[in-house]
Amino acid sequence: MKIKNILRKIVLLGLVVAAASPFVPGRALATGQLTSRKVTVTSSAGAATANYTVNFTLNTSGQTLGSIKFEICDSPIVTVACAGTATSAGASFGSATFGSVTGLSGSWSANAGSAGGAGGTSIVFKKASAGAEAGTPAATVVINAVTNPTAANSEYYVRISTYTDTGASAPAYPGTDFGAVAMDTTAQIVVSGTMPESLVFCVGTSGTDCTNITGTTVDLGTFSPVATNKGTSVMSASTNAGSGYVITINGTTMTSGSNTIPAMGTQTLNSSGCAVSCTSATGVSQYGSNVRANNIVSAGGAFGADVSGTGTATGSGGYNTTNSFRYFSGDTVAAVGGVTNANLFTNSYLVNVAGSQAAGLYSSTMTYICTATF
């Protein structure tokens, strides 16, 4: 009685082991396990069309190789039907095409892939003629235009099977060597933002851009008929306006009560002429401006600066010539014809006075206006 019970337990244990082993790929069937398996995709989005680069190393040394079958399945287990349902629903090799095969001998092509359904979805890459591989080579196979499973954030598997014939039938499934790679579709994260129409413009007496430009007063000091007085301010502008921007200078010339210091340059809007001299002359009452680097002995040498920055704007008209100055209210002093990054302009001011210039505190308020055209 005891002997029979012991035998009965041994038989039951054997049944349990036999039932479990088919779920381990490569052990239940006479097949070798492919190693170093991975699949790299150009898109992991659900339902996306992607290229699959499949890497694996053959397990069976010197095997005769005629074809390789690729399947998209719900399970990696070789005894579970590759039904193309549930998590792999929507997956398809139906529009897939041959990409390349490297690392394996022979000339390769691909059969038309299947598009899913009850038989799952698969594609077969085949040699022109079956032949033995040297050792256990590492292979790279590119399959173009594979359709991913539809569901996002869902796991699925790519099964890989090798066969000795070119029709992927011998030996019986899953072939000589077999392996599976776990894959996932993913939800796509959309990152968005809005860039509005933009004009960034600032004016001051010091600084390099609109994050740090400050100041409102330029002190030209005490005038003398034997010296030239000068000073500078700065301005910066950028825009995404398709037609760019123009910057105009607006205000009066230097004034003290009813007394004035005459403006330099031809006194018509945006003229580049010098009917009234544009050149600095000590002992002559004159006031002017430009946006260039200057070097005048009577003004103590160098002052001002040329336009800088990564933008494409430039000085305009009579304001864009070194050592030449003008002033007329409403003139365009700088401009650009399209979108631009920021440019920094240095506005140079120059004053000379005649010995007969009336005494007084002279000043002028310069208003710079930047107008963009979108």
Same domain, 178 and 50: yes
CATH classification at residue 79: 2.60.40
pLDDT of 80 over the 90 cut: no
Q: Following DSSP, what letter does each residue of 28-54 receive, concatenated?
A: SSS-EEPEEEEEEES--BTT-EEEEEE
Does residue 8 lie in a domain region?
Answer: no
Token pair, residue 333, equals: 């002093």
Same domain, 166 and 286: no
What is the residue whose two structure tokens read 């939800």? 187
pLDDT of 5 over the 90 cut: no
pLDDT of residue 117: 59
Same domain, 233 and 173: no
178-193 tens-digit pLDDT: 999 999 999 999 999 9
**Number of independent structural domains in the chain:** 2
pLDDT of 326 over the 80 cut: yes
Range of 296's domain? 199-372
pLDDT of residue 23: 35
267-306 tens-digit pLDDT: 999 999 999 999 999 999 999 999 999 999 999 999 999 9
- Report d(CA 48, CA 194) in Å as an integer: 27
Same domain, 218 and 134: no
Same domain, 117 and 262: no
Residue 15 · residue 66 · CB < 8 Å: no
Same domain, 180 and 302: no
β-pairing, 286-290 with 340-352? Answer: antiparallel
The 3-state secondary structure of 247-309 reads EEEECCCCEECCEECCECCCCCCCCCCCCCCCCCCCCCCEEEEECCCEEEHHHCEEECCCCEE
pLDDT of 9 over the 90 cut: no
pLDDT of residue 114: 87
What is the pTM (predicted TM-score) of this model?
0.70
Average pLDDT of the chain is 90
Same domain, 205 and 174: no
Residue 274 · residue 290 · CB < 8 Å: no
Segment 184-207 shows an average pLDDT of 96
Segment 347-371 shows an average pLDDT of 98
End of a domain among 138, 159, 184?
Answer: 184
Q: How confident is the model at residue 119 (pLDDT cuts 50, 70, 90)?
A: low
Segment 251-265 shows an average pLDDT of 98
Does residue 191 lie in a domain region?
Answer: no
DSSP class of residue 214 equals B
Q: Give buried/exposed letters for 181-209 (b at 16+ CB in 10 A, else e).
A: bebebeeeeeeeeeeeeeebbbbebebee
Does residue 6 lie in a domain region?
Answer: no
Closest alpha carbon to 349 in 263, 269, 266, 267: 263
